[in-house]
Amino acid sequence: MRTVGVEEELLLVDPETGQPQARAAAVLARAAQEGAGQDVFEKELHDEQVEFATRPQWQMAELGAEIIRCRKDAARHAEGLGGAVVALATSPLPVSPTITMNGRYLWMAREFGLATQVQLVCGCHVHVSVESDEEGVAVLDRIRPWLSVLTALSANSPFWQGRDTLYASYRSQVWDRWPMAGPAEIFGSAEQYHRYVGELIATGVVRDEGMIYFGARLSRRYPTVEIRVADVCLHPDTAVLVALLARGLVDTAAREWRAGREPLGHSAGMLRLATWRAARSGLSETLLDPATMRPRPAVEVIRALLDHVGDALSENGDADRAREAVAELMGRGNGARVQREVLERTGSLRDVVCACVRHTQA
């Protein structure tokens, strides 16, 4: 069974006003005092956010328990400084983000200007183990059409600078401002993947391999495929659902590769349209069918994803959990729907943030 690890970025906010707070350095220092910060929590591009990473896990119950533990630990460190953490992929309230003071991020601020300044967005990255770079690239080539469905499931960023964007995942729109972000073409082999990455770095636009922001890539640090298309999920159980579906996609793609099945040949441009559709609609309207690239009701596309990875889910013991989690998510709604429902009920974006602080650890 393949291992799965999750990285989540969380917003640091004032628990009374809901306003983002530039407290990352202090939160990380407090975590380090407990001896818990070095391997779990990290700084991110802006001082208003903090990232944690789980350990690789085989069992989804254990992964879910660790996500909850890490969220609670982050909340405790923030509370000790009069703050709170919240799993929102964008800030509903207006904010002027603060760039973290290190060489890498300051270089990005100089090179990309305003695009760097506004990138206060929080994602969920899923690492799934692979046996080799060759297997990993075969997986990347075959999971491409399905990644937009993970964006729709996780969508948790309807608001931006105090306004409703009309998107379910506006984070993905902000993220795509990076010149190296988004879907990639089919690579065909590990050799071609590494050659292409090298060519991107040689342009000077991309500083290093860490700035290869494809929707899915080979990890530069671990023997994994890293899937990077999801918003940070409001509820921990949604993050687990995204992780188990990601593992199912990797298992299924690896099996197809070994059986000699070619990847679907959709262009990167067509996949970009599918990503836009998922970001705009979330779970409430249509998505583009990964096989045909034609509009189809979201519920049918999600059912198609479950069918596509069904054998892998069964072999991993995840089938029942996946079906139950999808049913709960469709009934409750993703984070975007929950946020809009709070705003409709209260009329206050501050109340949206405060409600989501409670959901973050639920």
**Positions in the chain short of pLDDT 50:** none
CA dihedral 54, 57, 59, 64 (to 10 degrees): 0
pTM of the predicted structure, to 2 decimals? 0.97
**SS3 for 69?**
helix
Sequence length of the chain is: 362
C-alpha 255, offset from chain centre: 25
pLDDT of residue 38: 56
pLDDT in tens, 26-85: 999 999 988 755 578 999 999 999 999 999 999 999 999 999 999 999 999 999 999 999
- Let me know if domain 4-360 sits in CATH 3.30.590.20: yes
pLDDT (0 to 100) of residue 36: 58
- From residue 188, how far is each of 10, 151, 180, 228, 295 by CA, in Å? 35, 25, 19, 20, 28
Predicted local distance difference test score (pLDDT) of residue 361: 83
Q: Map out the domains of the chain as residue ranges.
A: 4-360
Instruction: Share the mean pLDDT of the chain.
Output: 96
Burial of residue 122, with CB atoms counted within 10 A of its CB: 0-12 exposed, 13-18 middle, 19 or more buried: buried
DSSP string, 202-236: HTSSS-SGGG--BSEEE-SSSSEEEEEEEEPPSSH
Please name every residue paired with 196 in a beta bridge, in sequence order, or none if there are none: none
| pLDDT value of position 156 | 98
